[in-house]
Structure 1
């Protein structure tokens, strides 16, 4: 097994095994390849289309190399892969704080923007929430405030070997898919939005192989890596060893129609201002989509058994000002 053989395999549009992918990723993480070689690997995988074994193999090496946050509590991570090109407000970040205010332990793993204007780390900085906590501080924050943020470059130091290449490529790569699978707190409960419907099955299989207890993986018909309030969303639920597919129809939840432009974001400062408006209970499309995505978190954490009642519960919780109290706890 060597670099040239595996690159030829990718060029021939042949899938790599878990072992072959681990071989390449271990070399990348150990700084054994230059930027050009790394770029060739990433483009080869992306142009062919990543499969479950490749996602699993890459994620297993990133997990192996990561700094760890050790928790006994069950924790949830909510994140999207990014790369959907929709430039929305930071939905999963807002939903994470909403859920923390509902006494759900959230271990949020994220980064600064690579393919959007504002990543989770960018907007949290503008909200004056410390993104640079070490593992002990994150653990303490989750135990005391139900929310901890792990800034990916600090927990995956080997990722510096690919940061420049990813930025230069300026397009989504397998690393968009790997980020949500490499939570340093080993979150066994997850809500993950992905940027392409055709990856739903492969991604779900990877989550299963990597040992999640329960997860929802979703992609909306309007292209979001979130549960949409404008179009149907395809979901695969992973529950221990079982997979279940279903569709969420937003008309079953919303009483009012909104336009997609109502959830389009801007820079981190703009997005942070919209999150504060949300926490203050302002009625908006953002409130609706955060409520629906937060409701999914309650379902994954087995706090609710019906998505509609979970959505109503979250929306009422936001409108009564409870989230603002939690946000003030989390500020520096």
Structure 2
């Protein structure tokens, strides 16, 4: 670590293999908390390079509790967090809409970072039992269409950096890792990012992943399609802007996407939307993100058709049925 730090402090960067090796050694507990803190600080002083992020990602995927769902055409919908917008659980609700429309969803998530309630808060609140048992997860995926990977159960390597991250109290490279280390290696991934710099970084990492991907950033700062204004997206072979009108929806106000002040508030909003009691703005933003998930899986589909599919899943209560079968609520 001393040699690595001296090398990095001169302004140099790591190759993908060097990044992979050093993170693997950190994960194995080979360095002190002070050494790990110094290492993480480097990437606060300068942006992480694409080859470094790719190496860090590979190390965590090498060390994760992997689940083989390669026979399914799966998708994950996740945001990086860190946008500070405190929205309700849009990505998670979109996952239930996708499952209700007949797609296989392997949702990866954790407790909230930039909002009151993250995906894990929501699943936990409704009584879903976190597990890394492949048989349980496979049964849920086959019979219900969705399963959930609570990140700490699948990434034991992260435990050695947890105390350092909590002590530092600032964003680190690990805040960027969550959306790109799904232990089931989904074939499709819709990722929301909080700024265009991260979008470019993820784009370069995903290009070498072999996945269908679609990365989106709302230009007013949301890490998802917010319908509060235009959004930028990049996929395997396309880059463009999308407006609310492209989805057939009106522009919404930021306050209409609030997740409330507690997990209970967020859970009430979440359940209301699935039960058809949400506001028009809440329903539309969930439909828009689910539609983009379908578009990620099947780029040849017209966006209007994807919106229609997602809307039917939500409004026919198919998404609600999936939610009830998975959580027992």
2:17 partner SS:
helix
Query: Quick one: distance in 2 between partners of 1:304 and 1:176?
Result: 32
RMSD (CA atoms): 1.8
Q: Which residue of 1 aligns with 2:134?
A: 135
One of 303, 324, 329 as aligned partner of 1:328: 324
One of 294, 298, 306 as aligned partner of 2:302: 306
Please tell me whether the aligned partners of residues 218 and 236 of structure 1 are also in contact (alpha carbons under 8 angstroms): yes
Residues 230-268 of structure 1, C-alpha deviations (whole Å, 9 max, x = no match)? 121111102xxxx32111111333544421011121322
Please tell me whether the aligned partners of residues 62 and 156 of structure 1 are also in contact (alpha carbons under 8 angstroms): yes
Q: Which residue of 2 aligns with 1:87?
A: 86
Please tell me whether the aligned partners of residues 101 and 309 of structure 2 are also in contact (alpha carbons under 8 angstroms): no
2:161 partner SS:
helix
Please tell me whether the aligned partners of residues 217 and 235 of structure 1 are also in contact (alpha carbons under 8 angstroms): yes
Aligned positions of 1:174-185 closer than 5 A: 174-185=173-184
1:191 partner SS:
strand
1:45 partner SS:
helix
Aligned positions of 1:267-282 closer than 5 A: 267-281=262-276, 282=278
Sort the Cα spacing of 1:6 and 1:231 in 2 relative to 1 into closer, same or farther, 3 A.
Answer: farther
Residues 178-203 of structure 1, C-alpha deviations (whole Å, 9 max, x = no match)? 21221111112100111221122221
Q: Which residue of 1 aligns with 2:74?
A: 75
Aligned residues: 325
Aligned positions of 1:1-332 closer than 5 A: 3-71=1-69, 72-212=71-211, 214-238=212-236, 243-265=237-259, 266-281=261-276, 282-302=278-298, 305-332=301-328
Please tell me whether the aligned partners of residues 113 and 120 of structure 1 are also in contact (alpha carbons under 8 angstroms): yes
Structure 2, gaps ≥5 residues long: none
Query: Quick one: distance in 1 between partners of 2:3 and 2:176?
Result: 24
Q: TM-score, normalised by structure 1?
A: 0.92
User: After alignment, is 64-73 or 40-49 more displaced?
Assistant: 40-49
Please tell me whether the aligned partners of residues 80 and 180 of structure 1 are also in contact (alpha carbons under 8 angstroms): yes
Please tell me whether the aligned partners of residues 153 and 159 of structure 1 are also in contact (alpha carbons under 8 angstroms): yes
Residues 156-211 of structure 1, C-alpha deviations (whole Å, 9 max, x = no match)? 11111112222222332221222122111111210011122112222111112232
Shift of 1:133: 4.6
Query: Quick one: distance in 1 between partners of 2:283 and 2:300?
Result: 20
Please tell me whether the aligned partners of residues 133 and 149 of structure 1 are also in contact (alpha carbons under 8 angstroms): no
Sort the Cα spacing of 1:149 and 1:85 in 2 relative to 1 into closer, same or farther, 3 A.
Answer: same
Structure 1, gaps ≥5 residues long: none
Query: Quick one: distance in 1 between partners of 2:160 and 2:140?
Result: 29
Shift of 1:68: 1.3
1:27 partner SS:
helix
2:215 partner SS:
strand
Q: TM-score, normalised by structure 2?
A: 0.93
Query: Quick one: distance in 2 between partners of 1:87 and 1:13?
Result: 36
Please tell me whether the aligned partners of residues 218 and 227 of structure 1 are also in contact (alpha carbons under 8 angstroms): yes
